[in-house]
Structure 1
């Protein structure tokens, strides 16, 4: 488990790197704050008392995602290469179906490192933010409601993940179990007339609320449930004075159109590259 001092050092380095490079790093803070006590998933490089390099591993279902950063004044010194080697040696990479390295699409240093390690481009995600254009937020259907997810919802969650995200039963169960334990994350069940029709998770980070894992059962799509869910979330965020964000695969035009029609606009892009462990 990361201690408060380590979390503070990571936050300070992230802020510095983002400001210097005009990027936004995806560090999955809810996962950083709820690491298992015995997990070897985070790797640090200090120059004196200052954190100058950081790399994190994120087990997600059957895959492993990787993200990290190096202080702008300490680059080209092999810091991240050494962190990466330590991480690969520590992680049982054969246990994961895929290893994805994440970088902002506009980060030339991130892309350069990944390509130097033989990373193969896999996919991109847009990060979208809801904008108040002076229009009244559309009302949600009264029949659509959100409630906190519970352990008893596991089978419904698994079925929705298998259908919507093509996850295995094991992947879905592992991710959902982790979400129930993460600080700052709210897994929610979408109900219509008392029947479970979908699920979504909200994560609060700073002044932002992020939407993750949003899916509606195929049998009830096209009936306004997705739009109503988004409007409920947006209305709550407005009442709390928070900005609302979400991620969507670039290759998912139907979801992209829905989000745009609800007032979300593309702000930036995250790219994912697959690392071939056999290399």
Structure 2
């Protein structure tokens, strides 16, 4: 587990990198702070100052990778060395898929990704809700997930996201360990039709894993769920955020319809590890 000082150092370096490049890094803080071990976190210090950081975030058999280097200390091999250690750890852990994420506007990230032979896979838009009147919601219930909801949560991940049984099970169990995150089941007429996660930190509420079973899609349920989440969190003083893949026109249109707008974009790249 990362120490309090290490987490503070990571936040400081993140801010410096974001200001320098006018970008926003996706470091998955809800997972970073809740990690039970530091085998997937790699830090390089010089004179008690954090110079480079690399984080690996497991999602089933996939591991997502993100990191950063102090702007004045780039092109010195620091990040490449951390990346090498990270890939060795990923191989030992048996991860089958490596995804690297980087801000769409980061030239330094693109140069590194090109150097290691990573290939572009897809992009996500990070969106924020802009205050606008929201109609009261009726006909749905959002309730805290219980242990007996696990099988349904796994089923929803398989049917809505096309995940394997193994990946869906691993992800659901890991998500339930997250702090400051609500795991919510979506009920209509006392029947569970979907799920959504809401993570709160530093005045921001982030929506993740929003999914409706295919047979219940297209009935306006998703719009009602978003409105209820927005109502509850905006009235409590949170700004509300969500991520959506750029090619997912249906989801993008839904989010825009309830008042979300794009503020940042992240590019994802596939990396194939050497078997040596």
What is the match of residue 162 of structure 1?
158
Distance 1:272 1:184 in 2: 26
Q: CA deviation at 1:114?
A: 0.9
Give the alignment partner of residue 172 of structure 1, picking from 160, 168, 172.
Answer: 168
What is the match of residue 113 of structure 2?
114
What is the match of residue 14 of structure 2?
14
What is the match of residue 55 of structure 1?
54
Gap runs ≥5 in structure 2: none
Cα displacement string for residues 141-192 of structure 1 (whole angstroms, at most 9, x for unaligned residues) = x220111112211111111111111111111111111111111221110111
Q: CA deviation at 1:70?
A: 0.5
Q: CA deviation at 1:86?
A: 1.4
1:228 correspondence with 2:224: yes
Q: CA deviation at 1:265?
A: 0.6
1:207 correspondence with 2:203: yes
SS state at 1:156 partner: helix
**1:15-30 → structure 2 map (5 Å cutoff):** 15-30=15-30
Give the alignment partner of residue 139 of structure 1, picking from 123, 136, 157.
Answer: 136
SS state at 1:241 partner: coil
| Aligned alpha-carbon RMSD (Å) | 1.3
Distance 1:210 1:30 in 2: 10
Q: CA deviation at 1:244?
A: 0.5
What is the match of residue 94 of structure 2?
95
**1:67-82 → structure 2 map (5 Å cutoff):** 67-82=66-81
What is the match of residue 260 of structure 1?
256
Cα displacement string for residues 221-266 of structure 1 (whole angstroms, at most 9, x for unaligned residues) = 1211100000011001111111111011111101111111110111
1:4 correspondence with 2:4: yes
Q: 1:81 to 1:56 in 2, by over 3 A?
A: same
SS state at 2:25 partner: coil
Paired residues of 1:179 and 1:186 also in contact (CA < 8 A): no
Distance 1:254 1:189 in 2: 21
Moved over 6 A (4+): none
Distance 1:238 1:64 in 2: 32
1:272 correspondence with 2:268: yes
Q: CA deviation at 1:94?
A: 7.7
Q: TM-score, normalised by structure 2?
A: 0.96
What is the match of residue 245 of structure 2?
249
Distance 2:117 2:11 in 1: 29
Q: Which moved more, 1:91-100 or 1:78-87?
A: 91-100
Give the paired residue count.
275
Distance 2:90 2:123 in 1: 25
Q: TM-score, normalised by structure 1?
A: 0.95
SS state at 1:2 partner: coil
